[in-house]
Copies of this chain bind each other. A is one copy, B any other.
Protein backbone atom coordinates (compact mmCIF):
# COMPACT_ATOMS: atom_id res chain seq x y z
CA UNK A 1 0.00 0.00 0.00
CA UNK A 2 1.50 3.27 -1.13
CA UNK A 3 1.01 6.40 0.91
CA UNK A 4 -0.73 9.46 -0.40
CA UNK A 5 2.52 11.41 -0.31
CA UNK A 6 4.14 8.91 -2.63
CA UNK A 7 1.45 9.52 -5.21
CA UNK A 8 1.93 13.25 -4.75
CA UNK A 9 5.60 12.83 -5.58
CA UNK A 10 4.93 10.52 -8.46
CA UNK A 11 2.57 13.04 -10.00
CA UNK A 12 4.81 16.04 -9.32
CA UNK A 13 7.80 14.27 -10.78
CA UNK A 14 6.00 13.81 -14.05
CA UNK A 15 4.70 17.34 -14.22
CA UNK A 16 1.15 16.54 -13.20
CA UNK A 17 -0.43 18.53 -10.41
CA UNK A 18 -1.53 16.32 -7.56
CA UNK A 19 -5.20 17.20 -7.55
CA UNK A 20 -7.60 15.31 -5.33
CA UNK A 21 -9.20 13.65 -8.35
CA UNK A 22 -5.88 12.33 -9.59
CA UNK A 23 -4.90 11.12 -6.14
CA UNK A 24 -8.19 9.27 -5.82
CA UNK A 25 -7.63 7.63 -9.19
CA UNK A 26 -4.07 6.70 -8.14
CA UNK A 27 -5.48 5.02 -5.06
CA UNK A 28 -7.94 2.98 -7.08
CA UNK A 29 -5.40 2.01 -9.71
CA UNK A 30 -2.17 1.53 -7.85
CA UNK A 31 -3.05 0.57 -4.27
CA UNK A 32 -3.37 -3.07 -5.24
CA UNK A 33 -1.45 -6.26 -4.88
CA UNK A 34 -2.28 -7.51 -8.33
CA UNK A 35 -2.26 -5.98 -11.76
CA UNK A 36 -5.49 -4.23 -12.58
CA UNK A 37 -7.04 -4.56 -16.03
CA UNK A 38 -9.86 -2.14 -16.59
CA UNK A 39 -11.93 -0.19 -19.05
CA UNK A 40 -12.78 3.46 -18.49
CA UNK A 41 -16.24 2.31 -17.60
CA UNK A 42 -14.93 -0.13 -14.97
CA UNK A 43 -12.90 2.63 -13.40
CA UNK A 44 -15.74 5.13 -13.37
CA UNK A 45 -18.03 2.54 -11.80
CA UNK A 46 -15.42 1.58 -9.21
CA UNK A 47 -14.96 5.21 -8.19
CA UNK A 48 -18.64 6.02 -7.97
CA UNK A 49 -19.31 2.90 -5.92
CA UNK A 50 -16.46 3.30 -3.46
CA UNK A 51 -16.40 7.02 -2.84
CA UNK A 52 -19.03 9.59 -2.03
CA UNK A 53 -17.66 12.36 -4.19
CA UNK A 54 -17.86 11.67 -7.85
CA UNK A 55 -15.30 12.47 -10.50
CA UNK A 56 -16.48 13.80 -13.82
CA UNK A 57 -16.20 11.32 -16.68
CA UNK A 58 -14.12 13.82 -18.66
CA UNK A 59 -11.61 13.92 -15.82
CA UNK A 60 -11.41 10.15 -15.72
CA UNK A 61 -10.68 10.08 -19.45
CA UNK A 62 -8.13 12.88 -19.12
CA UNK A 63 -6.39 11.27 -16.19
CA UNK A 64 -6.19 7.80 -17.69
CA UNK A 65 -4.72 9.24 -20.86
CA UNK A 66 -2.30 11.39 -18.93
CA UNK A 67 -1.19 8.34 -16.93
CA UNK A 68 -0.82 6.37 -20.13
CA UNK A 69 1.25 9.14 -21.73
CA UNK A 70 3.49 9.27 -18.66
CA UNK A 71 3.95 5.51 -18.85
CA UNK A 72 2.01 4.54 -15.73
CA UNK A 73 -0.55 2.59 -17.72
CA UNK A 74 -0.47 0.50 -20.86
CA UNK A 75 -3.37 0.29 -23.29
CA UNK A 76 -4.32 -3.20 -24.45
CA UNK A 77 -6.41 -3.55 -27.57
CA UNK A 78 -8.69 -6.55 -27.56
CA UNK A 79 -11.44 -5.52 -29.89
CA UNK A 80 -12.53 -2.33 -31.51
CA UNK A 81 -15.34 -1.83 -29.02
CA UNK A 82 -13.36 -2.35 -25.83
CA UNK A 83 -10.30 -0.47 -24.71
CA UNK A 84 -8.50 -1.97 -21.75
CA UNK A 85 -5.80 -0.43 -19.63
CA UNK A 86 -3.25 -2.32 -17.62
CA UNK A 87 -1.38 -1.23 -14.51
CA UNK A 88 1.37 -3.70 -15.40
CA UNK A 89 3.67 -1.65 -17.59
CA UNK A 90 6.37 -4.27 -18.08
CA UNK A 91 6.64 -6.09 -21.40
CA UNK A 92 4.25 -8.99 -21.22
CA UNK A 93 1.54 -10.78 -23.12
CA UNK A 94 -2.09 -11.66 -22.43
CA UNK A 95 -4.67 -14.33 -22.40
CA UNK A 96 -8.15 -13.06 -23.09
CA UNK A 97 -10.96 -15.19 -21.74
CA UNK A 98 -13.82 -14.83 -24.18
CA UNK A 99 -16.28 -16.36 -21.72
CA UNK A 100 -15.67 -13.87 -18.93
CA UNK A 101 -14.12 -10.97 -20.91
CA UNK A 102 -11.19 -10.99 -18.51
CA UNK A 103 -7.57 -10.33 -19.37
CA UNK A 104 -4.84 -12.40 -17.77
CA UNK A 105 -1.19 -11.39 -17.76
CA UNK A 106 1.35 -13.87 -19.06
CA UNK A 107 4.94 -14.23 -18.06
CA UNK A 108 7.73 -16.26 -19.63
CA UNK A 109 6.38 -19.42 -17.98
CA UNK A 110 3.33 -19.25 -20.20
CA UNK A 111 4.52 -17.73 -23.46
CA UNK A 112 8.07 -17.99 -24.72
CA UNK A 113 9.94 -15.18 -26.47
CA UNK A 114 8.54 -14.32 -29.86
CA UNK A 115 11.11 -15.02 -32.53
CA UNK A 116 11.11 -12.19 -35.04
CA UNK A 117 13.35 -13.38 -37.82
CA UNK A 118 12.98 -10.48 -40.23
CA UNK A 119 11.82 -7.00 -39.47
CA UNK A 120 10.68 -4.45 -42.03
CA UNK A 121 13.72 -2.73 -43.54
CA UNK A 122 14.45 0.67 -42.09
CA UNK A 123 11.99 0.34 -39.26
CA UNK A 124 12.46 -0.13 -35.56
CA UNK A 125 10.27 -2.40 -33.48
CA UNK A 126 8.28 -0.37 -30.99
CA UNK A 127 6.36 -3.23 -29.40
CA UNK A 128 5.57 -6.92 -29.71
CA UNK A 129 2.24 -8.06 -28.36
CA UNK A 130 0.78 -11.53 -28.23
CA UNK A 131 -2.89 -12.03 -27.50
CA UNK A 132 -4.12 -15.56 -26.91
CA UNK A 133 -7.89 -15.78 -26.95
CA UNK A 134 -9.28 -18.67 -24.94
CA UNK A 135 -12.77 -20.00 -24.39
CA UNK A 136 -14.37 -23.05 -22.86
CA UNK A 137 -14.59 -26.07 -25.16
CA UNK A 138 -18.28 -25.62 -25.81
CA UNK A 139 -17.87 -22.10 -27.17
CA UNK A 140 -17.75 -21.15 -30.82
CA UNK A 141 -14.34 -20.67 -32.27
CA UNK A 142 -12.99 -18.97 -35.36
Contact = CB atoms under 8 A, between A and B. Distances in A.
Interface string A122-139: 111111111111111101
A119 B134 CA distance: 8
Contact of A112 (B111, B114, B130): B114
Interface residues of A, number: 46
Nearest to A99: B123
Contacts of A97: 120, 123
Contact of A116 (B75, B111, B128): B111
Contacts of A135: 123-124, 126
B110 A117 contact: yes
Given A111-B117, A124-B139, A128-B132, 8 more contacts: A104-B120, A109-B117, A110-B116, A114-B130, A119-B132, A120-B134, A123-B136, A127-B142
